[in-house]
Structure 1
Amino acid sequence: MSSVIATTAVRGRFLDIQNTVAQARDLHDQVRYVEDGLLLSENGKIKWFGPWQDGQAQLPPDLQVQHYPDQLIVPGFIDTHIHFPQTEMIGAYGEQLLEWLDTYTFPTEMQFADPAYAQKMAAFFVQELLKNGTTTALVFCTVHPQSVDALFEAAQQMQMRLIAGKVMMDRHAPEDLCDSAESAYQDSKQLIEKWHGKGRNLYAITPRFAPTSTPEQLARAGQLKAEYPDVYVHTHLSENKNEIAWVKELFPEQNGYLDVYHHYGLTGAKSVFAHCVHLEEHEWNCMHETDSAIAFCPTSNLFLGSGLFPLKKTWEKQVKVGLGTDIGAGTSFSQLQTINEAYKVQQLQGDKLSAFEALYHATLGGAKALELADKLGNFNLGKEADFVVLDLQPTALQQLRQSRAKGLEDSLFALMMMGDERNIHSTYIYGQCAYVKDHAA
């Protein structure tokens, strides 16, 4: 794709959340629905947005308008935790977290030592994101720097905003997948210099999780964060009870799992911790005090038998949260499928997840969790023009259900419970159509 982007005009039904909120109950006041709207983007940014009636005068002469009268247009979905090297091992049978890593994950990730293989899988991965309406993701690569290069190159071709990093891992893993404290530091430093802030790419310091890093490596990760305060930290936390017990054995001097990361300077506004299913009270307090974020990954939490994430507690504790598909322990690239499972996880705890709250977590709330709410997540002027055109009735069953919908919220809820990649009509990245269902854009 060219780096100079012409003006794009899109007309249709638009739905977004106008502002971030402190409590779920405040969301209704922030829902913006424009029955017949116009979005104009220029150089990848939203230049004008509002009712079609008011916007026609803004149209440059001879500009073709893409019109989606029967679809619903929402901001691009944001995936706050996903592993691109695990794409091919999705749906691997029969294990919980630690055994699953040894049996399936590590052997798969070894293949990414080959740059050609990494490039092939990166191209496939980016296409799967687009097919599912995901326009921004926070991504684990492998221990190999070439896996990071491959992913950022694939994202750059689409002008896609991705955050990614090289795994740091110097123990409790196969020798071929281990780096050292020093090499992890040097490789990560070079990758930060090469990629962070280049185009729409952003870098994340990525220790896999506390058990696979020595104290020396975690100290070096903290050193990187201190040297490059603008980069992200992305890792796992309190996913599985055996994992938590293991961390306490390995780091007895620390006050629990989160304190390991906090001790080494790895908490903060741009730190995203995947899972957090079993946080202790003092850890919730630390998450809030450090402005750290959680990636809630319901499909993988269920698939690996990890537990039920208390989403309601994120509002009570004022902790930022986004949704993660967590491919490949997660079972779908689709944020619609992820929301479906997130709803059920709350039901099992006697809580509810409304359609508007789910939309918030998948868009503007996810952007807030990634400290990108000034750039992404809704149709406010000046934001990056990433959005998805949704087909609400790609199947006979969905058509029937939508014909019985009792208003917008019910229609959206039905989409989220029944939807998947078949509902993605088109995906726009930086104002340009990057994917159209049934044929590449």
Structure 2
Amino acid sequence: MFIKGNFLYTPSRKELTIRENQYAHIENGVVTGFMTELPDTISSEKVIDYSQDIIIPAFVDLHIHAPQYINRGFGFDEELLPWLEHYTFPAEGKFADPVFARRVYSAFLKRLKAEGTLCFSAFATIHKESTWQLMELAEAMGFKAYIGKVNMDRNAPDYLLEDTDRSLADTEELAVRCREELHKVRFIATPRFVPSTTEQLMTGLGRLCETYDLPVQSHLSENRNEVAWVKELHPNLPSYTAVYDAFGLLRPEKTIMAHAIYLSGKEKSLLRDKGIYLAHCAQSNANLTSGIMPLRRNLEKGLTCTIASDVAAGHTPAMNKQIALTIEVSKLYSLQNDTEKALTIGEGLYLATKRPGRFYGRTGSFEKGYAFDALVIHMNDIEGLERTPFEKLQQFIYDGDDRNIIARYVDGVSC
């Protein structure tokens, strides 16, 4: 198959490639190369011409809470811990009902697809059956995803408090079932955060991760009160990051930690050396008055950072809006820190496509050998007003929405 259009993608954080009026060749769902003219030997291969529209890699969101979709926009007068108590936990308690869960998760996935997020890593809830509903639905709709059953056996309301052994058994059951029955959806161990998981539970999860080679997702140093709480719970360990490491939950190149705002130099070195993915949630951090990750400084120190939505603390799953807000926050941060250069459009695209895509595999770029996971975007809303492909990209990031996405591809298949 050949697809013609204006392709924009980021082979590296410092490189934005723009291929105007070129043909991408896709074979078995994978990009094999680009050309400016069709070869004479194309025979019966399909050719799709998107004319002057731009084509970018589909978005990848490595930190989102699927059940919290029903709460987006709620409770932002609160900070993290009271927000969880007053809004998040009551909402997640409703997912004890698999019928309700299926209804919400269907709406959640339809919204993700509409907004162009075709690969993601999501928290579900503690409920085994409802989590499986989300996994089955995501597989049926063609997503690439990591999905995890949340683990919580302390510091939670009674209706979300798990028995430790039951939590581990349900986790193992889902990990095995996912491996046997699903293809594009994968299981990820999901301790909610240190305050809600006992040492026994974290030890058990670490063992399951070793046994089944599972990745991990959780939260790290989002809020000052949360950080202080972790210190009270684990006074003999030097840091929040060290707690995860002590229980085998910082798996090299296979762990996503969201937020990571308040980190010491030693913590950053550990996270860098292990290749931990740090999901930067600028909108969420602003909404809950959590703080600002020093993104540029972390990138320059070699930490692996990505842009994520963190719905529902982030109020929209639209990743173009998350890129825009991340750039805006970085500009404000740079005003207070003379050595901090603001994020660029190209860097924002990279942190929402190729960099997080590497957690899943070869997705998030149009380089040779990468899966053709793509969005076709139409931005000409005024006849006769010509824009360059890069100008169209900028306008989509700041003011585009699902109505501008006219086609979506996963592994070269329209979806």
Q: Please, what TM-score do these two structures have when normalized by structure 2?
A: 0.93
* Partner SS for 2:333: coil
- Among 48, 57, 64, the alignment partner of 1:66 is 48
Match of 1:439 in 2: none
Instruction: Kindly provide the CA deviation profile for residues 75-101 of structure 1, in whole angstroms up to 9, marking residues without a partner as x.
Output: 111001001000010000321111111
Whole-angstrom distance in 2 between the partners of 1:138 and 1:66: 31
- Asked if 1:219 is matched to 2:206, the reply is no
Which whole-Å CA distance do the structure 2 matches of 1:384 and 1:424 have between them?
Answer: 19
1:160–1:429 CA contact under 8 A, matched in 2:
yes
- One-letter identity of the residue aligned with 2:393: L
Pick closer, same or farther for the CA change 1:144–1:39 going to 2, 3 Å. Answer: same
Q: Which runs of 5+ in 1 are unaligned?
A: 1-7, 435-441
Whole-angstrom CA distance in 2 between matches of 1:162 and 1:313:
29
Q: C-alpha distance in 2, partners of 1:153/1:56?
A: 41
List aligned pairs for 1:182-261, cutoff 5 A: 182-196=165-179, 198-229=182-213, 231-261=214-244
Matched, 1:105 2:105: no
The residue type equivalent to 1:310 in the other structure is P
Offset of residue 171 of structure 1: 1.0
Q: Is the 8 A contact 1:240 1:306 kept in 2?
A: yes
Name the aligned partner's letter for residue 34 of structure 1.
R
Matched residue SS, 1:171: coil
Query: Structure 1: which amino acid aligns with 2:225?
Result: N
Give the structure 2 partner of residue 381 of structure 1. Answer: 368
Q: For 1:338 and 1:58, locate their aligned partners in 2 and report how far apart those are by CA, in whole Å.
A: 43
Partner amino acid, structure 2, of 1:159: G
Q: Are the equivalent residues in 1 in contact too, given 2:61–2:352 (CA < 8 A)?
A: yes
Is 1:345 the counterpart of 2:329? The answer is yes
Aligned twin of 1:15: 8
2:57 is equivalent to residue 75 of structure 1:
yes
Distance 2:62 2:402 in 1: 18
Residue aligning to 2:338: none
Q: Secondary structure at the match of 2:188?
A: strand
Tell me which amino acid in the other structure corresponds to 2:70. E
Among residues 316, 321, 324, which one is paired with 1:332 in the alignment? Answer: 316
Report the CA distance shift for 1:393/1:97 in structure 2 as closer, same or farther (over 3 A).
Answer: farther
Q: Is the Cα contact below 8 Å between 2:327 and 2:345 reproduced in 1? A: no
* Per-residue CA distance 1:246-291 (angstroms, 9 max, x = gap): 1111111111111110110111210100001111111111101211
Question: Could you tell me the percent identity over the aligned residues?
Answer: 31
Amino acid at match of 1:297: C
- Cα distance between partner residues in 2 of 1:411 and 1:100: 38
After the TM superposition, which of the residue ranges 376-385 and 79-88 deviates more from structure 2? 376-385
- Residue 409 of structure 1 deviates from its aligned partner by 4.2
CA distance in 2, matches of 1:418, 1:297: 19
User: How large is the Cα RMSD of the aligned pairs?
Assistant: 1.9
Give the letter aligned to residue 343 of structure 1. Answer: I
- Residues in 1 aligned to 2:367 and 2:69: alpha-carbon distance in whole angstroms: 33
Q: Select the residue among 358, 361, 371 that pairs with 2:348.
A: 358
Give the C-alpha shift of residue 371 in structure 1. 5.3
The 1:10–1:262 alpha-carbon spacing in structure 2 relative to 1, beyond 3 Å, is same
Cα distance in 2 for partners of 1:193, 1:328 equals: 29
Unaligned runs of 5+ in 2: 335-340
Tell me by how many angstroms 1:419 deviates. 2.6
Which amino acid in structure 2 is aligned with residue 74 of structure 1?
Answer: I
Asked if 1:295 is matched to 2:279, the reply is: yes
Counterparts of 1:90 and 1:83 in 2: how far apart (Å)? Answer: 10
88-97 vs 410-419, which deviates more? 410-419
Number of the residue aligned with 1:175: 158
Residue 15 of structure 1 aligns to a residue in which SS? Answer: strand
Distance in 2 of aligned mates of 1:58 and 1:46: 19
SS of the aligned residue for 1:34 comes to strand
Larger mean Cα displacement after TM superposition, 190-199 or 141-150: 190-199
Paired residues, number: 406
**1:266 aligns to 2:249 (yes or no):** yes
> Is residue 36–residue 51 contact of structure 1 (8 Å, CA) maintained in 2?
no
Q: Does 1:131 align with 2:119?
A: no
* Per-residue deviation, residues 355-401 of structure 1 (Å, max 9, x unmatched): 11111111111123x252xx21112333222111112245x6xx89x
Matches within 5 A, 1:84-95: 84-93=66-75, 94-95=77-78
* Contact 1:158 1:429 (8 Å CA) reproduced: no
* 8 Å Cα contact 2:31/2:366 also seen in 1: no
- Give 1:146's match in structure 2, choosing from 110, 129, 143: 129
On the 8 A contact 1:133/1:426 being kept in 2, the answer is no
In the superposition, the TM-score normalised over structure 1's length comes to: 0.87
What per-residue deviation string (whole Å, max 9, x for no partner) do you get for residues 53-88 of structure 1?
0x4445342x54332113110111100100100001
